[in-house]
């Protein structure tokens, strides 16, 4: 029996005919701009892994550094953190870096991002991230939060631990990209 129910088309279904050229019937247009927010003080390999993978999934990715003077004294200035990100993402054509302050949900609206990307290392991250996702969705229902599981090999790495190790002279060269390493060496020499 033929199913008479109209087929639901994807939200971005173009619906034009093949004669319309490049936007042929059946073409699905979905330009997704994602924002990956964080303190990135400093950027470590777990962050870099999420950036690279998110850049493969989304059309454009803004990596946004929180410029939050209320947070305890950061090790790196926002400018330094942006410079590290610029270096690390230089070969990623669809990635831009930016800074923001205030609410992430508002910032996402301003830059017209439709997705927030967060990295998840472990279940312990999940409870906090779940709360943030709900809050952000309440503040801006047009933005969806998505999660990328941090690669297992970086699941124990955090900016706090990297700073602590570097401060005591431990070798962190396997935990951070060279752009971060050279700045850590300068800070703690
Ligand atoms: O790297 P971090 O420090 O874990 O990143 C946290 C960040 C920047 C994603 C989070 O603190 C944030 O979104 N701050 C902006 C303020 C905001 O929107 N808070 C949520 C509602 S209370």
Distances (CA, A) of 179 to 60, 81, 110, 143, 170: 23, 10, 29, 31, 17
What confidence tier does 23 reach under pLDDT thresholds 50, 70, 90? low
Q: What is the pLDDT of residue 4?
A: 47
Residue ID of nearest Cα to ligand 1 atom 13 = 104
**DSSP class of 80:** H
- Other residues' Cβ atoms within 10 Å of the Cβ of residue 145: 19
Q: Is 40 left (phi over 0), alpha (psi -120 to 50) or beta?
A: left
Q: What is the pLDDT of residue 11?
A: 46
First-residue to last-residue Cα distance in the chain: 76
Q: Ligand 1 center to residue 15 CA distance, Å?
A: 39
Q: What is the pLDDT of residue 124?
A: 84
Pocket of ligand 1 (CB under 6 A): 37-39, 66, 103-105, 132, 135
Residue ID of nearest Cα to ligand 1 atom 17 = 103
Q: What is the pLDDT of residue 40?
A: 97
Distances (CA, A) of 102 to 37, 74, 99, 133: 12, 17, 11, 16
Q: Ligand 1 center to residue 9 CA distance, Å?
A: 35
Give the predicted TM-score (pTM) of the model: 0.86
Closest atom of ligand 1 relative to the 118 alpha carbon: 9
Q: Ligand 1 center to residue 41 CA distance, Å?
A: 13
H helices of the chain, where?
45-57, 78-88, 104-110, 123-139, 159-167, 178-187
Q: What is the pLDDT of residue 15?
A: 41
Query: Which active-site residues does the annotation give?
Result: 47, 71, 121, 159
H helices of 5-142, where?
45-57, 78-88, 104-110, 123-139
Residue ID of nearest Cα to ligand 1 atom 4 = 38
């Amino acid at each position: 029996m033929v199913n008479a129910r109209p087929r639901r088309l994807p939200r971005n279904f173009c619906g034009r005919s093949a004669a319309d050229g490049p936007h042929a019937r059946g073409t699905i247009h979905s330009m997704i701009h994602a924002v990956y927010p964080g303190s990135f003080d400093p950027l470590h390999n777990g962050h870099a892994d999420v950036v690279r993978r998110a850049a493969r999934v989304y059309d454009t990715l803004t990596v946004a550094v929180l410029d939050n003077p209320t947070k305890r004294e950061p090790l790196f200035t926002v400018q330094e953190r942006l410079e590290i990100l610029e270096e690390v993402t230089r070969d990623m054509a669809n990635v831009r870096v930016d800074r923001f302050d205030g609410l992430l949900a508002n910032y996402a609206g301003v830059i017209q991002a439709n997705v927030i990307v967060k990295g998840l290392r472990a279940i312990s991250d999940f409870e906090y991230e779940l709360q943030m996702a709900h809050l952000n969705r309440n503040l801006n229902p047009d933005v969806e939060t998505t999660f990328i599981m941090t690669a297992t090999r970086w699941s124990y790495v955090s900016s706090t631990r990297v700073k602590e190790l570097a401060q005591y002279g431990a070798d962190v060269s396997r935990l951070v990209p060279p752009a971060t390493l050279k700045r850590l060496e300068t800070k703690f020499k």
